[in-house]
Structure 1
Amino acid sequence: MSRTARYPGARLLLFARSPVRGRVKRRLAAEMGEQAAFDIHCAMTAYLAGMAGGAALMPACLYAWPDVDSPWLQNLAARHALQLRAQQGSDLGERMGNALAAELRHADFAILIGSDCPGIDPAYIEAAAARLQAGVPWVFGPAIDGGYGLVGTCRADPAPFRNIDWGTAEVMAQTRDRCRAAGLAWEELDALYDIDTREDWLRLQRDRPELCGNLVW
């Protein structure tokens, strides 16, 4: 990060799956084929890594799963000056909770983003950071499909990640239930769409053609 970070005491975590054909974007692959899904996964991950590394908001890390030794991810992290770390845990919730807890040992707050929500930009991350700096303990960036693409916190608490049906339309609703049950206060940002279906991809081509490059099907 060449410029001075606006939130040097915070951490930005980009969660990404190592790119392997047939193992990424399976819903998208069912509609568009494994190669298209693989290419879109790589394009979205690369875009968000560049955004995270170039935003100059806070130090950023790339958390990989399941293969932290992926040469593609290693090159991506080096290109954007991201620390590359391995996700640890038996499911997505445990991996997110563990990563946030690890970063919070050395940070005032941490913001975790997924690698398939192109609407996450520096302004969106800064909106979450401003709330956390103001004392809001948890911030979520909901996805239109019922999940979420951003979670930020100043507390290491696994409660929001327990017993969630990951990959379903119930994720954000169940997360709200877990927060209520644990007595955790939170705020939500505007809902964004992620890239899980061909319709999502066509929408991105209409909304942000500059992000799609030569990936046209």
Structure 2
Amino acid sequence: MQASLVLMSRAPIAGKTKTRLESHLTAEECADLHRAFLKDINSKFLNLKGVYSRLDLYLSYTPEVNQNLFKDLIDTDFIRIPQRGKNLGERMYNAVADAYQKSRLPVIITGSDLPLLALDIFTEALAGLKERDIVIGPSDDGGYYLLGMKKPEKSLFNFEGWGNQSVLERTIKEASRHNLKSHFLPEASDVDTFKELLDLRSKLININSDLNYPHNTKKIIDKIFAYK
């Protein structure tokens, strides 16, 4: 299977990233956590790239002036694409469209705060795109953590209210309305709140370490909680 894989991320700047965690963490700790997430997903995607005959990697980033902040976090194998658009939907669609225009391959787009997401999820997503038009990875907050498509489908991004609990439902409805066949992945959660960070900490303690274990994330979480 040949495809493009797009990682969307804002630059890990203190006070500008993972701000919902500032209820319990300092702004710099939030930025350190984001940097660790990026390092671990970078390694995971490079491992995935080694499995497939062609997997083009993209980093869709913002702000454009802070591209240098990814230098030591994201490998040069990732083609840099600055985010464009007035809202998250526009930025996601433009990232998908840019990757498709460059590679002419099915596109999978995901975020940076999923350190425990297994490589099997991406393998299933790639396999799903062989039989279906789109692949959706539902998240437990009413959104999704991954969206794959054979070609850019603007209708899936063309609505208001990004970030609320109806995004997944409306995406499914739009897909159905345009007769797009969907494949659903297992549900997963990202890390936006302190409760979710506590859940992640517990899981990191209780799972076995392997090639794709998020060691950078574990290290920074241990450091953060050593002072709490």
Q: Under a length normalisation based on structure 2, what TM-score does the superposition of the two structures give?
A: 0.83
1:105-163 alpha-carbon deviations (Å, 9 max, x no partner):
33331111101122323211110000102x31000111111111111000221111111
Shift of residue 19 of structure 1?
1.3
2:200 to 179, 183, 204: 204
Equivalent residue for 2:63? 66
Q: What SS is found at the alignment partner of 1:36?
A: helix
- Aligned AA for 2:3? A
Q: What SS is found at the alignment partner of 2:64?
A: coil
2:25 to 20, 32, 42: 32
Identity within the alignment, %: 26
Shift of residue 164 of structure 1?
4.0
2:182 to 161, 186, 192: 186
CA contact (8 A) 1:147 1:170 kept: yes
CA contact (8 A) 1:110 1:153 kept: yes
Correspondence 1:103 to 2:99: yes
Equivalent residue for 1:163? 159
Equivalent residue for 1:214? 220
Shift of residue 28 of structure 1?
1.5
CA distance in 1 between counterparts of 2:34 and 2:15 reads: 11
Correspondence 1:117 to 2:110: no
The runs of 5 or more residues in structure 2 that have no matched partner are: 206-214
The runs of 5 or more residues in structure 1 that have no matched partner are: 1-6
Shift of residue 18 of structure 1?
0.8
1:13 to 1, 6, 26: 6
CA distance in 2 between counterparts of 1:110 and 1:68 reads: 25
Q: Under a length normalisation based on structure 1, what TM-score does the superposition of the two structures give?
A: 0.87
Shift of residue 80 of structure 1?
5.6
The aligned runs of 1:125-140 (5 Å cut-off) are: 125-133=122-130, 135-140=131-136
2:39 to 33, 36, 46: 46
More relative contact order, 1 or 2 (CA 8 Å, 6+ apart): 2
CA distance in 1 between counterparts of 2:139 and 2:26 reads: 24
Q: What SS is found at the alignment partner of 1:81?
A: coil
Correspondence 1:144 to 2:137: no
CA contact (8 A) 1:142 1:148 kept: yes
Q: What SS is found at the alignment partner of 1:184?
A: coil
1:163-198 alpha-carbon deviations (Å, 9 max, x no partner):
142222222122122223333221210000110111
Work out the number of aligned pairs and report it.
208
1:187-214 alpha-carbon deviations (Å, 9 max, x no partner):
2100001101111111111112444213
The 4+ residue runs of structure 1 with deviation greater than 4 A are none
